[in-house]
Amino acid sequence: MGSPLIAISAARQTVDTAFGPMPSTVQNVAYANGVLAAGGRPAILPSTADIPEDLLEGFDGLLLTGGGDIDPRLYGEDPIETVYDVCEIRDDFEIELYNQALLRGMPILATCRGMQLINVIRGGNLIQEVSPNRGHWQDGPSHEPWHSVQLEPGSELARIANQASIPVNSYHHQGLGRIGKGLRVVGREGDVVEAIEADDANLIGVQWHPEHMFEIHAAQKALFVDLVEKANAHAQSQQPRQEQFL
């Protein structure tokens, strides 16, 4: 049996090509590198308008990534002027990714936008603009920590990080508001929600970007290692049992 296959979501952007402007799949390779470093096989999935029913067939884990903002209409609000890069096709595609992963019992790691999307799917909402003076958009290199997140004692995330707080980078202008059904807050910076887990899913959601920090910070790499290990266990659980004959 090979190493587990991890589905990685991606942005959909119009890119200038030899054929003119074309809808394209765009994703930072750092996510794939994080999965590779943890022993998994990464596969970046394009956000398509037509969504296959067997979207995650053959996959063992899901990584929901960062990017532009989620359409506020999904949580019953009109967008304010700072909302940017909304893509309804990506929203719809990643909602289906999440739902199929949940049905299959697959492990999910969700970063930044990915964590926010899960909160919205579960009936929560977002703060459309975290006050700029809160300092949640750093001006230093992305591999360097910007602030620390206090982790909930006894949480899965605290176990993974093996520490009570974790230094993180910070690139978000939105945040979680009302918490969605079945979700638990397991990490905060002040009153800003920085990490969640679920009562009914194999899920870790973080507001920061571990893909830019895993090469230097062991606790960030541990997030990818945990995803791959859980994906491997999930893959093994799906293997048909072979009867043994004497």
Q: What residues are annotated to the active site?
A: 112, 209, 211
In whole angstroms, give the CA distance from residue 178 to residue 62.
Answer: 24
b/e 169-185 (16+ beta carbons within 10 angstroms → b): bbebbbbbbebbeebee
CA atoms within 13 Å, Cβ hemisphere of 208: 29
